[in-house]
Amino acid sequence: MTYGWAILIIIVVAAALYSFGIFNPATWTGTRATGFANIGVPQDWQYTADTGNLQVIVRNGLGGAIDISTVSATCNTTGSFNVPLLGATGSLGAGLTRTYATEVNTTQCARLAPGSSFSVQLKVVYTPQGRSFTQTDTGTITGTAQ
């Protein structure tokens, strides 16, 4: 009889913790960006669960203008695949921002359920104005699918 009550209490506590989202990894993931030594941390990003669309706002954190060649994301949601992000290439002045996004219903990150956590490696290929060689800045953005 004592073991029965103990098991019942454990089940009730586990159910309460589950209802509060304690066992959901997205509860503990949070939104953060790491890496991005040269360009600077992206201003903002959003992953839309129903379309699998990833939008990223990149900020030029260098002291001068840059010419952006490509922006791509390696989605680590299910498997790992590279997604080119669409947006204007070319000159971006110091401190300015530009939005890049996956093309919905064509090439996109895997679709996740709303509230799921995601991790995406972002890669920006650019050339500082006045220089001849391209440089690459990479980092990881994490968050919760909207």
Clarify whether residues 11 and 57 are in a common domain: no
Clarify whether residues 61 and 8 are in a common domain: no
Are the beta carbons of 62 and 39 closer than 8 angstroms?
yes
Clarify whether residues 1 and 65 are in a common domain: no
Clarify whether residues 21 and 90 are in a common domain: no
Are the beta carbons of 52 and 110 closer than 8 angstroms?
yes
**What is the residue range of 127's domain?**
31-144
Which are the contacts of 75, defined by CB distance < 8 A and separation ≥ 6?
54, 81, 83, 109, 110, 118, 120
Count of structural domains within the chain = 2
pLDDT per position as a tens digit, 15-71: 888 777 676 555 555 677 888 887 766 778 888 877 777 888 888 888 889 988 888
Of residues 67 and 81, the one with the higher pLDDT is 67
Residue 1 to residue 90: CA distance in whole angstroms: 74
Residue 50 to residue 75: CA distance in whole angstroms: 16
% of the chain with per-residue pLDDT over 70 = 79
- Is the pLDDT assigned to residue 131 strictly greater than 80? yes
Clarify whether residues 57 and 12 are in a common domain: no
Per DSSP, the three-state class of 120 is: strand
- Is the pLDDT assigned to residue 119 strictly greater than 60? yes
Per DSSP, the three-state class of 8 is: helix
